[in-house]
Amino acid sequence: MNRLGQLSLEFASPAGDPTGRDLPLPIDSTFDTSFADKMARLELYNKHHYRPNTYLHKWWARRCGSTFRLILKHLVTDPTRRHYYAPGGLEGKIILDPMMGGGTTLHEAIRLGASVVGVDIDPIPVLQARATLADLPLAALETAFAAFCDQMAQALAPLFTTHCPHCQADVPLRYLLYGQRRSCACGPVILVDSLVLRYEAGLPAICLCPACHQVVAANTACTCAPAGLPPLVEKAQTHCPTCSESYREDLAVPFYARYVPLVVVGSCQADGCSRPGLFYAAPTAADLALLAAADEARQKLDFGPAGAFAIASGPKSRDLVSRGVGSYLELFSSRQLLYLAQAAALLPQFPPLVQLNLALLVSTSLEFNSLLCGYKGARRGERPGAIRHTFSYHAYAFPYTALENNPLYPEQASGTLAKLFHDRIRRARAWAQQPRERQLTARRRFTTLHGELDSGVEVAAPAGLQDGPRRFLVRQGSAVALDLPDASVDYIVTDPPYFDSVQYSDLAAFFRVWLARLLPAGADWTYDLAGSAVDPHLNGDGQYTPVLSGIFAECRRVLRPAGGRLIFTFHHWNPKGWAALTLALRRAGFVLLNRYVVHSENPVSVHIANLRSLTHDAILVLAPAGHVPPPDWTRPGRVDQSDSRQFCADCAALLGWLLNSDLAEAAVEATWQAALS
């Protein structure tokens, strides 16, 4: 390949096959891993900036769009259209992702002119794909969003108001900081992450007085009189210095009620204000009265049966249960619940596709609007206006300094509806009309791919996929039973769930309980997770292999036998994961044609930092057995566990050898155990 990702292989279509469907595919014999690595290393730091139209709603474990674009470009049979930056190339092809998750395959394939089918058992990926792939004019969304925000503000803005401590002008609340109430034998205390609120260049730090809770400058001694308030204690102090007891959390109190308001944050631009700009202040009686009014209104809210919000003890949600949180309702302040109730009441007025986009926007805003959000700004160099969002660590984390955001703040501030609409819809839709790709030749340089569109036409049945380019069909359900005809799919490109790390459906319940209220008819909200290859802690150690076997069997049924390919990315340290994958592919009748290893994870990502984590993926290229002679894979003498890239390469080679072997299933499992022990 050249430096721009131009495939050098040349394949001419014979006279008897003008479509090139049954020709050898470039990906069978080559893949530009060097180009893929360079693109991935750039994209990994800010994936949502590179492909904004794929990121309307929160989802986890997304792979680099550039990697999947390159995979798809290696399926293009016309040599003049294989260039990474060349528009299209897959017109007339149908591509399936049976476990679509964030929808990367669908977006990349539809950009190249293919028609696509996406399936997922969780409703959130299906709703997101339906919203982001639809060719809905941005003007319609802009008009609806403005009307929606106006109505939300009329109902709720007075509750999100404070006043400037310098000129007393009424201003919108930016956010409110809370401390967590705990106790010891001496009495109650309030824990915070830090007593420092903000460092300012050339100025003393802004801090909290641990005795009177007032906001003070670090170089100013507080002259407060004893106020009888619980002392403020930084989280590093885990035991009381007087009684030596550890500070206890009262798990019998609802989670939201364990937090005490400490600091209101706003910005004043009033004429004549002596200190315009961002301010920090202790809550006044007026601020506390608004909180009390919201608490009173909370008692009158009706979101339906309480059991619909009950938290089941799953791989990640068990962390909530262990902290005495029994309902997702507890994770939100009273004002945040009023925000959700008002949104649910207003959304039905909009046309279905507009309603879908706005509902997903409200839902994803909850990542920045729950009492699991933390405060950034207490350390030097951190942005004081940024929010440590709910899933910063791909898990539930419990801040001591909780941050209650104002989702209706009128400016594009972190986590607000205005900011999210700009990033996730306005900028995303503009990008979808003119997709851009990063160039490697100059820093921060992008090139527009004229002629490409990241949108299409939704069809209701498989037959509609033949009606023209860029059709899409999305379905919620298990891919063990695909509503597709035999041999109707050209290629299957996917990213299957990890063997023992499939916590995402569990985490997604945080959003699902609300989407079910925002879009009650939008999906099957009572679906059965038993059809998912879920975490073995949830459904038993043997779930992954039979479910994945069923999915791969369906993949073979719908895949065109001659020329069809199943391609996916995979990595795992666990020998059970590789063994389960091997058995599933063998049962379904696939052979490995080739494998490539590409960079896939940012090593400083918070969910893998300082862990013995793999930072590469194996790209596995498979075909139905009996239609393409498989390579004569050599069993690796040993699997190199000292290097992420080589480990993935060795494991993929062993997978190929095992798929060609006639070993019994127990022997396959034993082989993996011996290789990776």
pLDDT tens-digit readout, 127-149:
999 999 999 999 999 999 999 99
Average pLDDT for 192-207: 88
User: Is 266 exposed, middle or buried, given 0-12, 13-18 or 19+ CB atoms closer than 10 A?
Assistant: buried
Average pLDDT for 118-123: 94
Q: Quick one: pLDDT at residue 393?
A: 85
Percent of the chain with pLDDT over 90: 77
Percent of the chain with pLDDT over 70: 91
Q: How far apart are the first and last CA of the chain?
A: 38
Dihedral, 606, 609, 610, 615 alpha carbons, nearest 10: 160
Q: Quick one: pLDDT at residue 540?
A: 43
Helix boundaries (H) for 519-598: 536-539, 544-558, 575-588
d(CA 561, CA 565): 8
Nearest to 453 by CA among 62, 39, 108: 108
Residue 307 — φ and ψ, nearest 5°? -65, -20
| pTM of this structure | 0.92
Q: Which residues contact 663 (CB under 8 A, 6 or more apart)?
A: 671
d(CA 361, CA 420): 7
Contact of 436 with 446, CB cutoff 8 Å:
yes
Q: Which residues in 351-376 are b (16+ Cβ under 10 Å) and which e? A: eebbbbbbbbbbbbbbbbbbbbbbbb
Distances (CA, A) of 270 to 281, 367, 666: 17, 31, 74
Contact of 456 with 103, CB cutoff 8 Å:
no
Instruction: Tell me the two tokens of residue 251.
Output: 């798990």
Strands (E), 362-420: 374-375, 387-388, 402-405
Q: Quick one: pLDDT at residue 530?
A: 56
* Chain CA centroid to CA 76, Å: 29
Q: Which residue has the tokens 């065109």?
A: 560
Nearest to 558 by CA among 494, 652, 632, 631: 494
Name, of 59-68, 222-231, 652-661, the range with top average pLDDT.
652-661
Instruction: Tell me the two tokens of residue 513.
Output: 């309980």
Beta bridge partners of 446: 438
Is the backbone of residue 468 left (phi > 0), alpha (psi -120 to 50) or beta?
A: left
pLDDT tens-digit readout, 85-104:
999 999 999 999 999 999 99
Nearest to 661 by CA among 638, 630, 619, 639: 630
Q: Quick one: pLDDT at residue 24?
A: 74
Read off the pLDDT band of 578 (50, 70, 90). very high
Check pLDDT > 80 for residue 429.
Answer: yes
Check pLDDT > 50 for residue 16.
Answer: no
User: Is 557 exposed, middle or buried, given 0-12, 13-18 or 19+ CB atoms closer than 10 A?
Assistant: middle
pLDDT tens-digit readout, 236-248:
999 999 999 999 9
Q: Which residues contact 205 (CB under 8 A, 6 or more apart)?
A: 196, 197, 198, 199, 217, 218
Read off the pLDDT band of 51 (50, 70, 90). very high
Residue 127 — φ and ψ, nearest 5°? -65, -40
Contact of 195 with 214, CB cutoff 8 Å:
no
Helix boundaries (H) for 91-163: 104-111, 123-133, 138-156
pLDDT tens-digit readout, 207-262:
999 999 999 988 776 778 767 899 999 999 999 999 999 999 999 999 999 999 99
Read off the pLDDT band of 2 (50, 70, 90). very low
Nearest to 102 by CA among 132, 60, 52, 43: 60
Average pLDDT for the chain: 90
Read off the pLDDT band of 444 (50, 70, 90). low
3-class DSSP assignment, residue 300:
coil
Q: Which residues in 585-601 are b (16+ Cβ under 10 Å) and which e? A: bbbbbbbbbbbbbbbbb
Average pLDDT for 614-622: 94
d(CA 478, CA 47): 28
Q: Which residues in 392-422 are b (16+ Cβ under 10 Å) and which e? A: bebebbbbbbbbbbbbbbeeebbbbbbbbbe
Instruction: Tell me the two tokens of residue 95.
Output: 């591509």
